Amino acid sequence: MLEEIGLPYEAHRIDTGNNETHTPEFLSLNPVGKIPAILDPDGPGGQPLALFESGAILLYLAEKTGRLLSADPAGRIETIQWVFFQMANVGPMFGQFGFFHKFVGKDYEDKRPFERYRAEAERLLNLLEMRLDGRSWIMGEDYSIADIALIGWIRHLVGYYGAGDLVGYTSMKNVPA
């Protein structure tokens, strides 16, 4: 998002494997102890503002810059709805499915958890495939924070987790585009 809107930023590498999200410095930004988190030194009223949760960060940056979120009330709330769709559905389901597929699924004799997450990931991808039919982006011709929220999880599912074939990704035309 920061690259897309052109705001200057300073990235900091956080090693989650070494529990760097549990240091006092990081917890001052995000008491939950997870990534992402940002500190805007020029927040509301010129005061620093710490933010966590990717959806909240996307919404904040869009509102701060007036970019990637429609000013039209109906378009605005529809975009936010798709960001929440990612937060409540795509992220959790793709993450669980990817975890079972790449890391522990082969270790479980009971394949019901794996199949439950696989089927739900496939269902969610099919919803996105239908939404994108005849559209360039989730909101039509307007690239938005909804696309930013979704694209990373889709790429992660297919690339990092290597699960595209298991959820029908390779037979889709709209989502890959």
Among 1.20.1050.10, 3.40.50.1000, 3.40.50.2300, 1.20.58.1290, what is the CATH number of 73-171? 1.20.1050.10
For residue 139, the SS3 value is strand
Q: Looking at domain 2-65, which of 3.40.30.10, 3.30.465.10, 1.10.579.10, 3.40.50.720 is its CATH number? A: 3.40.30.10
Q: Where are the domains of the chain?
A: 2-65, 73-171
Query: What does the alpha-carbon distance between residue 118 and residue 35 come to, in Å, rounded to a whole number?
Result: 25
Q: How is residue 32 annotated by DSSP?
A: T
Same fold, 2-65 and 73-171: no
- pLDDT tens figures, 12-62: 999 999 999 999 999 999 999 999 999 999 999 999 999 999 999 999 999
- In this prediction the pTM is 0.94
What tokens appear for 166 in the block?
């298991």
Question: What's the token pair of residue 88?
Answer: 């409540």
Convert the pLDDT of each residue in 112-163 to its tens digit: 989 999 999 999 999 999 999 999 999 999 999 999 999 999 999 999 999 9
Q: Are 23 and 83 in contact (CB under 8 A)?
A: no
77: its two tokens? 């709330």
Say which residue the tokens 């890959």 belong to. 176
**Residue located via tokens 């360039």:** 136
